[in-house]
Copies of this chain bind each other. A is one copy, B any other.
Amino acid sequence: MNRKDLKLYLVTDRGLAGDRAIEEIVRESVEGGATMVQLREKDIDTREFIGLALRLKNLLEPYGVPLIINDRVDVALAAGADGVHIGQSDMPYSMARRLLGPDRIIGLSVENFEQIEEANALDVDYIGVSPVFATPTKTDTSEPFGLEGLRKAVRMSVHPTVAIGGMNERTAADVMACGTDGIAVVSAIVCASDPRQATRNLLKIMTL
């Protein structure tokens, strides 16, 4: 994985997409400059999950944008996705690496500094620092890192980092100033009336 792929990392959420197909939101966001896409689905049949992953993989392939599957190693393998993103209550990293092989991307969510130290001992491809800010789209999270915590996390981590939780046009510039490689965005793109423009706006703010 290229470290630059983390820059604007779209995380899908069908619950927030309303009537719009997730494929359309993903396509528009990628055309607006999103660099990586994570498919996150919790209440979905495995077959439907795989079908959606296959459609997104086909959609993203021509753009050279990696598709990452949240949690489900089986879905990633079945759909030929580029990797998985695992949290602390998902499959343990060593098992996921064994099943996915050395080449696929594995990202790991860390919720505190102890978990960053643990991740430093693993050959994960990146860590997701989660959450930076409190956010309504992830309700089961730990105490937010805040900007101060994020700066410390970036310094501590031997791996590339992506900031998760509360990423939007108001926070993106401050977050990037902490030295993180990128931001993982859910609602600021999925809920936007124009996901392409929302992505462009975020990227503009991030590179100011």
Residues of A within 8 A of B (CB): 45-48, 50, 71-75, 77-78, 88-92, 95, 99
Given contacts A50-B95, A95-B50, contact A45 B78 (CB under 8 A): no
Query: Among the listed B45, B48, B74, B95, which residue makes an inter-chain contact with A73, where contact means beta carbons less than 8 Å apart?
Result: B74
When distances are taken between beta carbons in the complex, the residues of chain B under 8 Å from A47 are: 88-92
Query: Among the listed B46, B74, B90, B99, which residue makes an inter-chain contact with A45, where contact means beta carbons less than 8 Å apart?
Result: B90
Query: Among the listed B50, B73, B88, which residue makes an inter-chain contact with A92, where contact means beta carbons less than 8 Å apart?
Result: B50
Instruction: Summarize A's interface: helix, strand, loop or mixed.
Output: helix
When distances are taken between beta carbons in the complex, the residues of chain B under 8 Å from A50 are: 91-92, 95
Complex-state Cα separation, A88 to B47, whole angstroms = 8
When distances are taken between beta carbons in the complex, the residues of chain B under 8 Å from A46 are: 71-72, 89-91
Chain B nearest CB from A144 CB (Å) reads: 22
When distances are taken between beta carbons in the complex, the residues of chain B under 8 Å from A78 are: 73, 91, 95, 99
Chain B nearest CB from A175 CB (Å) reads: 28
4 closest cross-chain pairs (CB), A and B: A74-B74, A73-B74, A45-B89, A78-B95
